[in-house]
Structure 1
Amino acid sequence: MARIAVIGAGMGALAASARLAVAGHRVVVYERAATYGGAVGVLERDGFVFDTGPGLLPVPAVYRDLFVKTGKKPLEQCVDLVQVDPASHHVFADGTQVSLPNASRAGVVSALDAALGAGAGERWGDFLVRAREAWDRTRRPLLEEPLWPNWQVLAEREPYPVVRQRRLLRTRAAATLAEVGSWELGDPRLAVLLESHALAHGLDPRVAPPAAAVLPYMEHAFGTWYVRGGMRELARAVYERCLARKVEFHFDTAVGRIVEKDGRAAGVELADGAVADADFVVAGVAPAVLDRLSSHAVLRGDAEVPPQRGRPSRLTVHLALRGGRPGGVAHRTVVHAADREAELNGLFGERRAGPAAPGTALPASPTVTVLRPGDPALVPDVDHEAVTLAVTVPSGLEPTEKDAQRVLTTAERAVPGLRDRLLWHEVRTPADIARATGADGGAVPAPALAAAGGRLLHPSNSTRVTGLFTVGGWAHPGGGLPHAGMSGALVAGLIVEGPDFQGSQ
């Protein structure tokens, strides 16, 4: 039995802890905050409850596998997991609206044809077929296997089978997700629909590779899911599974540094000076925090994937509304920006090639995701509604009340009479995310993607220090609830089976 010290209690760290404990190791988690979950937080006020992090769960199979491998009760006996239908409702700048059924290709094709005109659904369906090819080519190396030592193969190879078209007297293939939308989908609204999946993860579609097509494909193939009571209930269930497996937690306990001995991780020194010895250390923290905990750069090297920095953040506005949720309202509505190019310029700068340049201000007309769960557990009674508005914003942004009002104005296109119903609103800023996660500027990590020269890969779970591993959104395979869960599985496999571990089965 090995002694394992885990730094942080985010979802990836919790997933690794449960798996390591069931393998017979003694696992102790040190979390500087007062609770678990990391970015999967909750806001409670006046009987209203809001998720402050992810509001929906894609690819629930990751957490189903976690619960199967760590105990007798499956996921569905620990949380009330329900499929969201429609998966999303979209309001485009020209006023066109469409609801997309959950995990139904035929339903999506019909809905798009009805809303956007004959042929639109078929073009989107054909795109999803190509996106599936990209998914099939990258699923194992990007989700189920440790990062390859020759990761450059993933960085250089474009897995999406782009359609070659004649442009400017020569045959060309789309080089970015935005070009895929413009060249292959044939309708600017379909292009906006595609780009919104990248934007939701803080990616600039003008720079993101065609491989980002796997993002809408994952939602289409595996559906969109919600946990009744809010996504915080998923964090609670994973935490309780850790407790059942005898994982030990120390909250309000900051780690000051990672102790090394003879080039190997040997434990952690707490902020109060106490030292906890360990055979392995698992760090579920952002790169900047790991830099402070180590005496040298454990993630850097000429042949290694560098840590991502300067990613965009997220602004959320939580609304307490009088009046119950109307029937037939979609759980998730995306209100698209009136001027997408201006929005992207505001977020990423005007460069069209190379790494995205961070923006400095909220776009004048941002894309706003409106979440209306209609969950009785989130409101004081049936005569009230809890709504969350989410916007991708530059990291480090210090929003003003004027910014919040601008988001409310956009959201009124999805929630008529919003201001007349508003009891109060509360804004969660990038600074709040920074406090919860330790990420500089409240940056939110994106899922790992192939191609793009490796810019969208994340550092390996193994580090340059023997016995030190990284887990969570800032490590392979990147950000997002399913990716965090997979990072936990990978770290557990690397510790239990050793460096020859080839990935989850």
Structure 2
Amino acid sequence: MARIAVIGAGMGAMAAAARLAVAGHRVTVYERTATYGGAVGAVEHAGFTFDSGPGLLHLPAVWRDLFLKTGREPLEKCVGLVQVDPASRHLFADGTEAVLPDASRAGIVSALESALGRGAGERWGEFLGRAGDTWDRSRRPLLEEPLWPDWRVLERDPYPAPRQRRLLRARQAATVAEVGAWELADPRLAALFEGCVLGYGLDPRQAPASAALLPYMEQTFGSWYVEGGLRELARAVYERCAARRVEFVFGAEVVSIVEKDGRAAGVELRGGEIAAADHVVAGAADAARLTGRELWAEGDVRPPAAGQPLPGRLTVLLALRGARPASAVHRTVVHSPDTGAEAAAVFGGGPTARPTVTVLRPDDPRTRPDEGHEAVTVSATVAGHGGGVDWTDEALRERCAGALVDAAARALGERPAALRERLVWHKVLTPAETGGIPAPALAGPGGRHLHPANTTRLPGLLLAGGHAHPGGGLAHAGMSGALVAGLIVEGADFRGSQ
């Protein structure tokens, strides 16, 4: 039985902790705040409850696997998991609207054909077919296996872009934006793809075409809502850890990772206490800061150099008077009229005039005080805090939040003034409070969208979370935890999750 010290109680860290405890190890989680869940938080006030982080779950199989492998009670016994159908409603800049069913390629193709005109659905269906090939080619090395030492085999983009005649020569789309312009050939379909990619913290002008697996993942495996909000999933994972005798120490700030005989040997807490361990699990940023040494060899995938902060999310929580109509759609996306300009602002460190806005309107009595009210969450991807945008500027916060409320009014079919009259209260969350969005790993030229491996040059120190392989996102966090646990339990023989 090994002693495992886990730094932080985020979702990836807890996923690793539960699996390691079941394998017979003694696991202690040190969390500097007073609670668990990391970015999966909640805001509760006056009978309303909102997710302060992600609001929908994709690839629930990742978390089903965790609960299957760590106990008798499956995920659905621990949380209420509801498939969202229709999956999304899309409002485009030209006034057209499309409502897409959940996890039905034929239904999605039909809906787009009907809403956007002849050929639109067919082109999207062909795109999803190529995206499916991308998923099949990259799923194992990107999500289910530790990052290969010879990671450069992932420099080849697995997206099978058709060759097209461009500027007197045959070319293939290499970026998300080129796929939208050349293959989808409709600004609304391009906005559908680019808006999805931007929501994952990726620049559609630069992200490789392999990002096609992101809308494929959502539209193939579905969108799921956790009753009471995604914070309930964090609670269930925490309780599963506690049931497997994982010890949590809250209010415990780790100030350094202890080394002995050339390997990680524990953690030092603020106040001077040393907690010995045989393995330490940390996030990539924490590990680099807490060791003060080089953790990556020449040729390894490394964290991005310090500079422009990661994009973040601007969120407005709306506590509203008035009942939610029975016909309301759970998720509505109001698309920007110019995704390229939006991306230029987000990744150039400036405010966005007309962003792509997602409006979540759950039909869940646990989120509101009574049937005469509703809780609506409005969000957009924005430039990160610092590097050009100061999200502590109250005037900037309220001005940008106002643009989101105006978009929400369109989604709800109301005038902005009428929506504001319904407000009981509202709260604005910015990247200054919630941090940046680590993107999921993608194969592509230069390995620019890969993340550091879960192992490091310091034996005994492993990396979990959104800034390590396989990158950001709630599903990816669960995969990260599974990979770290496998590497500790099976060592060099570990070949990936099954």
**Residue 417 of structure 2 corresponds to residue 402 of structure 1:** no
**Using the alignment, how far apart are the partners of 2:401 and 2:168 within structure 1?**
47
Tell me the secondary structure at the aligned position of residue 374 of structure 2: strand
| CA shift for structure 1 position 129 | 0.5
Equivalent residues of 2:40, 2:54 under 8 A apart: yes
- Give me the identity figure in percent: 66
**Residue 70 of structure 2 corresponds to residue 77 of structure 1:** no
Counterpart position of 2:441:
448
**Residue 135 of structure 2 corresponds to residue 135 of structure 1:** yes
Kindly report structure 1 stretches of 4+ aligned residues shifted beyond 6 Å. Answer: none
Counterpart position of 1:426:
427
Counterpart position of 1:235:
234
**Using the alignment, how far apart are the partners of 1:420 and 1:360 within structure 2?**
33
Amino acid in the other structure paired with 1:268? V
Counterpart position of 1:146:
146
**Using the alignment, how far apart are the partners of 1:286 and 1:428 within structure 2?**
25
| CA shift for structure 1 position 286 | 5.1
Tell me the secondary structure at the aligned position of residue 106 of structure 1: helix
Please list the CA deviations of residues 272-331 of structure 1 after superposition, one character each: whole Å capped at 9, or x if unmatched. 100000000001x351x3332112132x33211111363211111100000011121111
**Most deviating of 403-412 and 42-51:** 403-412
Tell me the secondary structure at the aligned position of residue 220 of structure 2: helix
Tell me the secondary structure at the aligned position of residue 82 of structure 1: strand
| CA shift for structure 1 position 187 | 1.1
**Using the alignment, how far apart are the partners of 1:362 and 1:413 within structure 2?**
21
**Residue 456 of structure 2 corresponds to residue 457 of structure 1:** no
| CA shift for structure 1 position 426 | 0.3
Equivalent residues of 1:208, 1:452 under 8 A apart: no
Amino acid in the other structure paired with 2:401? A
Among 282, 304, 309, the alignment partner of 2:300 is 304
**Using the alignment, how far apart are the partners of 1:454 and 1:172 within structure 2?**
21
Counterpart position of 2:489:
496
Amino acid in the other structure paired with 1:409? D
Counterpart position of 1:436:
none
Equivalent residues of 2:226, 2:233 under 8 A apart: yes
How many residues matched? 483
Amino acid in the other structure paired with 2:85? D
Tell me the secondary structure at the aligned position of residue 72 of structure 1: coil
**Using the alignment, how far apart are the partners of 2:458 and 2:133 within structure 1?**
36
Residues 286, 422 of structure 1: alpha-carbon distance in 2 compared, 3 angstrom cutoff? farther
**Using the alignment, how far apart are the partners of 1:214 and 1:340 within structure 2?**
19
Among 281, 288, 293, the alignment partner of 1:291 is 288
Q: What TM-score do you get using the length of structure 2 for normalisation?
A: 0.95
Please list the CA deviations of residues 129-183 of structure 1 after superposition, one character each: whole Å capped at 9, or x if unmatched. 00000000000001100000000110x2110000111112211111111111111
Please list the CA deviations of residues 11-45 of structure 1 after superposition, one character each: whole Å capped at 9, or x if unmatched. 00000000000000000000001000000000011
Gaps of 5+ in 2: none
Tell me the secondary structure at the aligned position of residue 305 of structure 1: coil
CA RMSD of aligned residues (A): 1.1
Among 345, 352, 376, the alignment partner of 1:387 is 376
Q: What TM-score do you get using the length of structure 1 for normalisation?
A: 0.94
| CA shift for structure 1 position 395 | 1.1
**Residue 121 of structure 2 corresponds to residue 121 of structure 1:** yes
Equivalent residues of 1:368, 1:391 under 8 A apart: yes
**Using the alignment, how far apart are the partners of 1:290 and 1:430 within structure 2?**
22
Equivalent residues of 1:146, 1:476 under 8 A apart: yes
| CA shift for structure 1 position 233 | 0.4
Equivalent residues of 1:5, 1:30 under 8 A apart: yes
Amino acid in the other structure paired with 1:320? A
**Most deviating of 177-186 and 124-133:** 177-186
Counterpart position of 1:412:
409
| CA shift for structure 1 position 186 | 2.0
| CA shift for structure 1 position 91 | 0.5
Among 362, 376, 386, the alignment partner of 2:365 is 376
**Using the alignment, how far apart are the partners of 2:228 and 2:397 within structure 1?**
30
**Using the alignment, how far apart are the partners of 1:392 and 1:116 within structure 2?**
25
Counterpart position of 1:213:
212
Please list the CA deviations of residues 426-484 of structure 1 after superposition, one character each: whole Å capped at 9, or x if unmatched. 01111111xxxxxxxx2210110001311110100001100000101111000111100
Tell me the secondary structure at the aligned position of residue 366 of structure 2: helix
Equivalent residues of 2:284, 2:463 under 8 A apart: no
Tell me the secondary structure at the aligned position of residue 162 of structure 1: coil
Tell me the secondary structure at the aligned position of residue 333 of structure 1: strand
Please list the CA deviations of residues 387-413 of structure 1 after superposition, one character each: whole Å capped at 9, or x if unmatched. 111111111141421111122112221
| CA shift for structure 1 position 339 | 2.7
| CA shift for structure 1 position 78 | 0.5
**Using the alignment, how far apart are the partners of 1:489 and 1:202 within structure 2?**
23
Counterpart position of 2:186:
187
Counterpart position of 1:281:
280
Counterpart position of 2:315:
316
Tell me the secondary structure at the aligned position of residue 219 of structure 1: helix
Amino acid in the other structure paired with 1:187? D
**Using the alignment, how far apart are the partners of 1:410 and 1:256 within structure 2?**
43
Please list the CA deviations of residues 53-102 of structure 1 after superposition, one character each: whole Å capped at 9, or x if unmatched. 11000000000000000000000100110100111110000111111100
Among 457, 462, 470, the alignment partner of 1:469 is 462
Amino acid in the other structure paired with 1:387? V
**Residue 351 of structure 2 corresponds to residue 362 of structure 1:** yes
